[in-house]
Amino acid sequence: MSKFPILNSKNNIFVAKKTKIICFIACILLLNNLQAQESGGGYAGSWLFRNECARPIALAGGFTAISNDPSAIIYNPAGLSNLHYEPQIISSVSMLGLGRTGATLAWAQQIYDNLGVGVSFNNLYTGTFTARDQLGHAYGEYSNYQYAIAAAASYKIAYASFGATAKYLTNNLQGSETFANGFAVDFGAMFDIFDMFNFGITLQNASGMMFWNTVNSDIMTIPWRIKAGVATRFGLNAEVYTDRSTATGELEEIYVPATRSILIGLDASFTQFAMSPTFTLATEIVAHELITFRGGIAIYGEKWGRPQLFPMNLWGAGVSVYPDLSEIVEELPFSFSIDYSVTNDLLNSNGISHHISLSVDF
């Protein structure tokens, strides 16, 4: 006689239903796992592929040909040579859910004719979790902390700008003695095409590596990413009028720049080991001197393991306000803006994350 009990028909039906439920749950978990890996999961330094600062995040990262503030250190260092001589500072905080937070602090300015420089610090804190062995026994509380310190410079020659960013990287598993240090380099270029539009291109994480202090002294290569984009701005209320010169008495045309405008950008990016490139459309509408609206979305990219139109796994939206405090504080030595954006997050339970930045121009 078999040592296993013979199942009757009712038991067979129960086992079949139970098996179907288990298979269904397993499929859901596997699909979620695949979706979470679409943004570079499983590779060293994959957190560097996250967009930083509220303004570029609202544009879904379509910032390669724009890059006209200190976040250019992260997106395209070539844009630093187009900044003003006065310092510009950006401070940004990201609420990512699941106990995760991100922060960025960047400073940049032009220091000599056609020469711009910048320094930035950004980090990702993944929250606290309980480590367990294969039997489920708890090892203790751990948290993963990653940060990057970057220095960048850019030089402009006529209608072309060229820049580079050097990054020092650290990944520290707090609660254990495991950590890694590493480096990566970004290169970028921007071109002004006949004063009609900008073209930008950048190579991110070139020669990037992480060196772990494990027994085998593991060395992990950081995937590279190449991005290219175009952007143009349309003025909505620019004015041109004729006046007589007080010096020569001749008539001359005077151009008054637009204070309201629409910016449109198109970006293409390809990450090493990815199945297909991603194309992103972004727009920025300066509706008033005191408020700006932004939005961006991937119009082509990878989802569920295959390329498709509008994958809906990369989008952003946001707004900036520019408070006018001149009536409250006279001769304020700086101007500032408050930027907010919301974007999708593949790991968060509600599928979105929130980002706030404070930008100060001296």
Q: What is the DSSP string of 236-284?
A: SS-EEEEEE-TTT--EEEEEE--SSEEEEEEEEEEETT-SS-EEEEEEE
pLDDT digits (tens, 9 = 90+) for 337-350: 999 999 999 888 88
Closest CA to 222 of 182, 188, 187: 182
Give me the mean pLDDT over the 303-323 stretch: 93
Asked if the model's pLDDT at residue 238 lies above 90, the reply is no
What is residue 4's predicted lDDT score, i.e. its pLDDT?
36
What is residue 27's predicted lDDT score, i.e. its pLDDT?
41
Give me the mean pLDDT over the 296-323 stretch: 94
Higher-confidence position of 45 and 308: 308
pLDDT digits (tens, 9 = 90+) for 17-63: 444 444 444 444 444 444 444 455 567 788 899 999 999 999 999 99
What is residue 324's predicted lDDT score, i.e. its pLDDT?
83
Give, in words, the CATH class of 41-361.
Answer: mainly beta
CB–CB of 53/129 below 8 Å? no
Higher-confidence position of 200 and 16: 200
Please name the amino acid found at residue 226: I
pLDDT digits (tens, 9 = 90+) for 156-189: 998 999 999 999 999 988 888 888 999 999 999 9
pLDDT digits (tens, 9 = 90+) for 221-230: 999 999 999 9
pLDDT digits (tens, 9 = 90+) for 258-300: 889 999 999 999 999 888 999 999 999 999 889 999 999 999 9
Q: What is the DSSP string of 181-212?
A: EEEEEEEEEEEEETTTEEEEEEEEEEEEEEEE
What is residue 40's predicted lDDT score, i.e. its pLDDT?
54
Please name the amino acid found at residue 240: V
Measure the CA–CA gap between 199 and 353, rounded to whole angstroms: 30
- Cα–Cα distances (Å) from 154 to 44, 67, 208, 224, 254, in that order, read 27, 12, 20, 21, 32
Measure the CA–CA gap between 217 and 117, rounded to whole angstroms: 35
pTM above 0.85, yes or no: no
Please name the amino acid found at residue 7: L
Q: Please provide the average confidence, as pLDDT, over all residues in the chain.
A: 86
Closest CA to 148 of 118, 166, 121, 125: 121
14: enclosing H helix or E strand: helix 9-36
Please enumerate in sequence order all residues whose Cβ is within 8 A of that of 106, keeping only pairs 6 or more positions apart, or say none.
Answer: 53, 70, 71, 73, 74, 89, 90, 118, 119, 120, 121, 122
Q: pLDDT class for 153, splitting at 50, 70, 90?
A: very high
Measure the CA–CA gap between 107 and 104, rounded to whole angstroms: 10
Q: pLDDT class for 320, splitting at 50, 70, 90?
A: very high
Give me the mean pLDDT over the 186-199 stretch: 95
What is residue 202's predicted lDDT score, i.e. its pLDDT?
98
**Torsion 320-362-116-121 (CA) sign:** negative
336: enclosing H helix or E strand: strand 335-344
Q: Domain locations in the chain?
A: 41-361
- Cα–Cα distances (Å) from 165 to 40, 188, 270, in that order, read 21, 9, 19
Please enumerate in sequence order all residues whose Cβ is within 8 A of that of 182, keeping only pairs 6 or more positions apart, or say none.
Answer: 44, 45, 168, 169, 170, 171, 208, 209, 210, 211, 222
Give me the mean pLDDT over the 138-147 stretch: 87
Closest CA to 67 of 204, 230, 195, 292: 230
Q: What is the radius of gyration, based on Cα positions, of the chain?
A: 25
- Classified as helix, coil or strand, 222 is coil
Please enumerate in sequence order all residues whose Cβ is within 8 A of that of 139, keeping only pairs 6 or more positions apart, or say none.
Answer: 130, 131, 132, 133
Which structure tokens are listed for 356?
A: 């706030």
Please enumerate in sequence order all residues whose Cβ is within 8 A of that of 295, keeping only pairs 6 or more positions apart, or say none.
Answer: 58, 59, 60, 282, 283, 315, 316, 317, 318
Measure the CA–CA gap between 109 and 362, rounded to whole angstroms: 10
Closest CA to 150 of 252, 50, 93, 70: 70
Asked if the model's pLDDT at residue 193 lies above 90, the reply is yes
Measure the CA–CA gap between 209 and 285, rounded to whole angstroms: 39
Higher-confidence position of 282 and 6: 282
